[in-house]
Amino acid sequence: MSTTDAQRPRTRREAKRANPYGHVQKAIDEIDERLGVAKGGRAFLDKIFPDHWSFMLGEIALYSFVVLLATGVFLSLYYVPSQSTVVYHGMYKPLDGVRMSEAYLSSVNLSFAVRSGLLVRQMHHWAADVFIGSIVIHMARIFFTGAFRKPRETNWIIGVTMLIMAILNGFIGYSLPDDLVSGTGLRIGYSILLSIPFVGNYLAVWLWGGSFPGHIIL
Amino acid sequence: MLRRLLKNRYLLPTAILVVVGLGGFVGLTTAGAQTHPSTATTAVPTLYTSATTTTATAAPSASTGKPPSTTAGASHGGALVTPPGTTRTTARTHATACRKELERISYTSPPNSGSPKTSSHHSCVNGRIRTYGNTNILYASPPTSFEQAGEQLFQQVCASCHESDAQGGPLAPSLKGVGSGTVDFWVTTGRMPAATPLSVQAQTKPPKLSDRQAAEIAAWVTSLTPAPPFIPAVNTKSANLAVGASLFALNCAACHTITGAGDELAFGTNAPSLHTATATQVAEAIRSGPGNMPRFTGNLTDRQVADVVAYVTEKIQHPTNSGGFGLGGIGPVTEGFVGLLFGVGGLMLVCFWIGDRS
Amino acid sequence: MSDHDGDVAVDDGTRTPVALPVARFDDPHLQPLARHPARTERLIALTMLAGIGGVVWFGVAYVQNYSSWVLGVSLAVGLLGLGFGLTAWGKYLMPQGPFVEERHTLSSTEEERTAMAAAVTERTQVVVKRRGVLGGLLAAGMGLFGIVAIFPLLRSLGPAPGNLLEETDWKKGTRLVTITGRPVHRDAMQPGGIVTVYPLGLEKTDSGQATDQTVLIRVQDTDLVTMKGREDWAPDGYVAYSKMCTHLGCPVGLYEQELELLVCPCHQSMFNVRDGAVPQFGPAPRPLPQLPLKIDAQGYLVARDGYNQAVGPGYWSRTSTPRQNGAQ
């Protein structure tokens, strides 16, 4: 919007009439002069997203991941990744006097001693289930609508990689509390590593710091 | 109104969700659950200890820790009671008979591990061992007065497969020397009388005979060849739940699962759910090893068995479930089903609402 | 002030998609979907109020330490209320469109691509054609550095496995004890019983429970010979096998006494106890290693020798033939 000297507004009201966005214009000017974002920013704001419901399946995955991150941060503040043996003397009476790992003790504490700990644990658990399920459904939608074709092959590769990492993360996640499911899963993970040709036993022993269960894996 | 409902685009997906969800959900969470009402209680011994009051058996309460007072001929802390008016010679014969009987029915075993000879105390009446055990578990055999009714019942109900002298035949094994606790277990859980005699595993079903009738049959069968285990009365008051939990995880959880929900095993056999078992039945199963279940004898003391029984009747059958509905305690399969169908499916319905159709 | 202004849509009733206009409130594309926007707005406001109530309730429940399900329900009410309100606002009260966005082609023009190809070719030629020797030396050096740089990383991972996976703590004469530390006497078990045993003194240790865990079973047959060469390995009907499944290492604790089968709970490998734990079903590739037993002078069960092969799942360098007894 260019004005000649003769047309420059004299009063504030005239200025407002000339440029109805004046109150925002100044801010935009400052930012654009430093970052150059006015043109791209407008294109970004004008972006259209498809309205069909099947395009929102990826968002289910996205937001369940956000929930996982938020609840996961909370849980990580109380979780103790240690396999050393301790004896439980806490709020949950049936386990009183039972020898367990510190990791399991911290999980039990999260459930019973930390306020809203059980709720956060449950949210984390169900968000993880929904996460993997929605990734698969989203992947199915991409496949059956052919949205993986050129020019989106890289996108597909990235997505499949994310699926594999999500599954791996889920496995690691449920191995953390060190209960029966966790321990069995870790044992099987150790054995699967062992089965890799040539380097299997090296990999397994290095990752676990010795024979199973070791004391470093958690 | 109905037409408007049918025109609604959310109706079909919601209906599918509800029907599949509820159906599968109900199916999964009740899988393996036994539904027969069990009327047996730990008060079983009181049904007939009154008939043997002269034995002065100590009821399994924590207060009386010492064995009852003995008369002539007691050994190993056992109570040998002779009816009043007997002579000394008769008493000595009784004592010898009791000692012989004790030797005969016991198996060598560490102390207090379910064998009469090595239990803290036992009692003997008329040359027959009536009870043995300690403050944790008291094993008692049904009174001899039950035997006549028991024989009648046996001939009516059991003899068709087990033969009239319980020696067994082509359809069923011999019952000689199985112990009254074993018989009581099979009958009170409804497995006997068996629906299909030669199946790989007798199916649990609502018990056909009452607990009293079961005790009567047990009395008669055990009178043929007395043997342990007798019917246990378990004292769970002073049990250690933590020890019970550890032992359960080590010995029982492999087949019955860590939540006691039961599991399918090899070749058509299954480990049943523990949710409807009484304390007596659990102890009987542990000590007698019914069917494919191993028999846990010398390596579990009565104290440890009482701990496991307490754990089963308290924590397994009444789980804390602080997080809400336990989904049957089965684990990842149910949770995946619920998470995917209700979680992802429900969210997909929301997407359906947000988005457009075309 | 150009082509992005968008056309003002003439209301011709067909509502063909248009580009996003700048701001003209009489445009039918900008009208809300709801037929009665005011009423919808009130409904949405109510939903959001319920959401606010839920969130406040959550705060109160947290401070007052109510039970977990109250926390959950309140948070659910709060977030669902706010979420549904926001979504309904977007769906029913926002401009309904449909809008279209012009999309430019992703790829660059022909000239730009040709120029890029030329740039790539010319700049690599500087190395390859003109200073080939230097380029080659550099590549060799960087490659070598990359390989050598991994050495400290590899070494820091720890010592090589060596014999670690081959050995257990079972030696000749090791007494079998249960989890409570009590040695197993020959009279301790009736036929049909099973117990998990460990080497004496190691029942509470990690290695004892993980690698040395062994199941001791008493079968009905007191003269059991599992296979040739193991005639004296099973005294009195006691037979002992490694508890680690040869498939993936789960503890094989599931014993069916009538079928005389050891079943692994993980993938249902079934081992026949009678003939040396040979797998009858399932993914296990090898029988469970058998621990030779003997009864000592006091009547307690001891190991006649260690395991003659590595226990647990297999790996590439596992010796496939059983070792001679006594050789570790």
**DSSP state at residue B79:** E
What pLDDT does C194 receive? Answer: 93
Q: Look at residue B51 and tell me whether its pLDDT is greater than 80.
A: no
Give contacts of A92 with chain B, Cβ < 8 Å: 320
Give the residues across from C227 on adjacent strands: none
pLDDT at residue C23, rounded to an integer: 60
Maximum distance among all Cα pairs of chain B, rounded to whole angstroms: 103
Residues C139-165 pLDDT 10s: 999 999 999 999 998 888 777 787 788
Give the tens place of pLDDT for each residue, B16-39: 888 888 888 777 666 544 433 333
DSSP C240: E
Q: What is the mean pLDDT of chain C?
A: 86
Which among B99-103, C83-87, C184-188, C308-312 has the top mean pLDDT?
Answer: C83-87
Please say if the pLDDT value at position B341 is more than 80.
yes
Please list the alpha-helical segments (H only) found in B77-179: 88-105, 147-153, 159-162
Q: Find out whether C304 and C292 touch, Cβ atoms under 8 Å.
A: yes
For A111, which of B322, B351, B354 is closest by C-beta distance?
B322
pLDDT reading at C9 higher than 70: no
For range A14-25, the mean pLDDT: 71
From the list B302, B291, B305, the residue with the least C-alpha distance to B248 is B305
Contact A121, A75 (CB under 8 A): yes
Q: What is the Cα–Cα distance from C305 to C230, expressed in whole angstroms?
A: 12
Give the start-to-end residue ranges of the domains of chain C: 28-93, 111-156, 176-303
Using DSSP, state whether A161 is helix, strand or coil.
helix
| Domain shared by A38 and A109, yes or no | no
DSSP state for residue B202 in the 8-state scheme = P
- pLDDT digits over B118-141, tens only? 888 889 888 888 999 999 999 999
| Test the B interface: residue of C222, C256, C298 with most B CBs within 10 Å | C256
- Average pLDDT of the residues in C98-102: 79
Closest CA to B109 of C189, C194, C302: C189
d(CA B354, CA C33): 12
For residues B35 and B330, the answer to whether their CB atoms sit within 8 Å is: no
- Together in a domain, A19 and A35: yes
> C197 CB near a chain B CB, below 8 Å?
no
- Please check the confidence at residue C5 and state whether its pLDDT lies above 80: no
Chain C hits for A46, CB-CB cut-off 8 Å, are 4, 20, 101
Is the separation of the CB atoms in B346 and B17 below 8 Å?
Answer: yes
What per-residue string of b and e applies to C278-287 under the rule 16 or more CB within 10 Å gives b?
A: bbbebebebb
Q: How many domains does chain A have?
A: 3
From CA B211, how far away is CA A198, in angstroms rounded?
63
User: Token digits for B8?
Assistant: 């609604």
- CA distance linking residue B286 with residue B185, whole number of Å: 10
A2-5 contact pairs (CB < 8 A, 24+): none
Give the model confidence (pLDDT) of C248-304 as tens digits. Answer: 999 999 999 888 999 999 999 999 999 899 999 999 999 999 999 999 999 999 999
Residues A128 and A35 in one domain: no
Coil, strand or helix: which one is A19? Answer: coil
Q: What is the ipTM of this complex?
A: 0.83
How does residue C84 score in pLDDT terms, banded at 50, 70 and 90?
A: very high
d(CA B9, CA B5): 9
Return the number of other C-beta atoms located less than 10 Å from residue A100's C-beta.
16
Note whether A108 and A137 are same-domain residues.
yes
Q: pLDDT digit string (tens) for C15-63?
A: 566 666 556 667 777 777 778 888 999 999 999 999 999 999 999 999 9
pLDDT at C212 over 50: yes
Q: What is the CATH number of the domain that holds A88?
A: 1.20.810.10
| A200 in the same domain as A106 | no
List, for residues B241-299, the tens digit of each pLDDT value. 888 988 998 899 989 988 998 888 888 899 999 999 999 999 999 999 998 999 998 88
For C291, list phi and psi in degrees, rounded to 5. Answer: -95, 120
User: SS in 3 state form for A66-110?
Assistant: HHHHHHHHHHHHHCCCCCCEEECCCCCHHHCCCEEEHHHHHHHHH
Report the mean per-residue pLDDT for chain B: 80
Helix ranges restricted to H, chain B: 2-7, 11-29, 44-49, 88-105, 147-153, 159-162, 180-188, 211-224, 241-247, 253-256, 279-288, 302-311, 332-338, 345-354
Using the Cβ of B265 and the Cβ atoms of chain C, whether some distance falls under 8 Å is answered with yes
pLDDT for residue B69 is more than 80: no
* A125 and A87 assigned to the same domain: yes
Q: Which residue of C has its CA nearest to B107?
A: C187
Q: CB contact, 8 Å: A89 with chain B?
A: no
| C-beta atoms of C182 and B299 within 8 A | yes
Same domain, residue pair A68 and A24: no
Residues near C35 by beta carbon (within 8 Å), at least 6 away in sequence: none
Residues A39 and A127 both lie in one domain: no
- pLDDT of the residue at C129: 80
pLDDT for C17 equals 65
Report which of C293, C238, C246 is spatially closest to residue C271, judged by C-alpha positions.
C246
Fold of the domain spanning C176-303: Rieske Iron-sulfur Protein (2.102.10)
Separation in Å, CA B188 to CA B214, B274, B282, B291: 6, 14, 12, 15
| Mean predicted confidence (pLDDT) in A109-130 | 95
**Among the partner residues B267, B296, B353, nearest to C193 by beta-carbon distance:** B296
pLDDT at A7: 60
Collect all residues of chain B within an 8 Å Cβ-Cβ radius of residue C194.
Answer: 294, 296
Amino acid B203: pLDDT? 83
> In one letter, which amino acid is C31?
Q
d(CA B5, CA A36): 54
CA distances in angstroms from B157 to A17, B40, B152, B180, listed in the order given: 104, 20, 9, 17
CB-CB contact of C157 with A199 (8 Å): no
- What DSSP assignment string belongs to B243-263? HHHHHIIIIIHHHH-TTS--E
In this structure, the answer to whether residues A78 and A161 fall within a common structural domain is: yes
Distance CA B72, CA A19 (A): 118
Q: List the single range of A165-169, B308-312, C114-118, C230-234 with lowest mean pLDDT.
A: C230-234
Pairwise pLDDT comparison (C8 vs B158), residue with the higher score: B158
Q: What is the mean pLDDT of residues A85-101?
A: 88
pLDDT winner (highest mean) among A129-138, B89-98, B154-163: A129-138
Which of C310, C316, C285 has the alpha carbon at shortest distance from A197? Answer: C316
Q: Are residues A40 and A65 in the same domain?
A: no
- pLDDT tens string A23-73: 788 889 899 999 998 888 888 888 888 888 999 999 999 999 999 999 999
| DSSP H or E run through A165 | helix A153-175
Residues A97 and A128 in one domain: yes
Return the structure tokens found at C215. Answer: 């199941």
> Would the CB atoms of B356 and A60 count as touching at under 8 Å?
no
Interface test with B, best of A53, A68, A96, A141 (most B CBs within 10 A): A53
Give bridge partners of residue C300 from the DSSP assignment.
Answer: C185
Do A80 and A1 lie in one domain? The reply is: no
Query: What is the domain extent for residue A23?
Result: 1-47
Q: What is the pTM of this model?
A: 0.82
